[in-house]
């Protein structure tokens, strides 16, 4: 470039962007550990079935009440599915919120 301005992305801005990327990377490692340690419980109607996931959607527990067991196979399947969906929705929302906090609202692929 003859004007000496390069591509319009100065060295200072590049250094600043690199530092921000390093901060996000360090924060992401801490966030990953926090999400792994979280336990998010999803419930079906009336709490007859509870599913526990980590903040990273790793399954940890399933609790099925005697009342749910007596409902029959089809209803029990629906209750388990509802509890799993509730836990997953809460877990992904938590992860998304925490990532937005970490990145300061930057738009990241897949989020």
Residue 27: CATH number of its domain: 3.30.1310.10
pTM of the model: 0.70
Q: Say what the pLDDT of residue 29 is.
A: 86
> Looking at the predicted structure, is the pLDDT value of residue 110 above 70?
no
Is residue 110 included in any domain, yes or no?
Answer: no
Q: What is the mean pLDDT of residues 5-29?
A: 73
Is residue 65 included in any domain, yes or no?
Answer: yes
How many alpha carbons lie under 13 Å from residue 100 in its C-beta half-sphere?
Answer: 8
> Looking at the predicted structure, is the pLDDT value of residue 75 above 50?
yes
Is residue 27 included in any domain, yes or no?
Answer: yes
pLDDT band at 58 (very low <50, low <70, confident <90, very high): very high
The structural domain count of the chain equals 1
Structural domain containing residue 65? 12-103
Residues whose CB falls within 8 Å of the CB of residue 111, separated by 6 or more in sequence, listed in order:
96, 99, 100
């Amino acid at each position: 470039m003859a004007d000496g301005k390069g591509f319009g992305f100065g060295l200072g801005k590049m250094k600043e962007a690199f530092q921000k990327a390093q901060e996000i990377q360090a924060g992401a490692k801490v966030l990953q550990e926090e999400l792994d340690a979280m336990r998010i419980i999803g419930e079906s109607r009336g709490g007859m079935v509870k599913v526990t996931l980590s903040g990273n959607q790793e399954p940890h527990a399933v609790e099925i009440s005697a009342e749910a067991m007596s409902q029959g196979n089809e209803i029990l399947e629906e209750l388990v599915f509802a509890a799993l969906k509730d836990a997953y929705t809460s877990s992904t929302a938590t992860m998304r919120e925490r990532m937005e906090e970490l990145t300061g609202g930057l738009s990241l692929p897949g989020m």
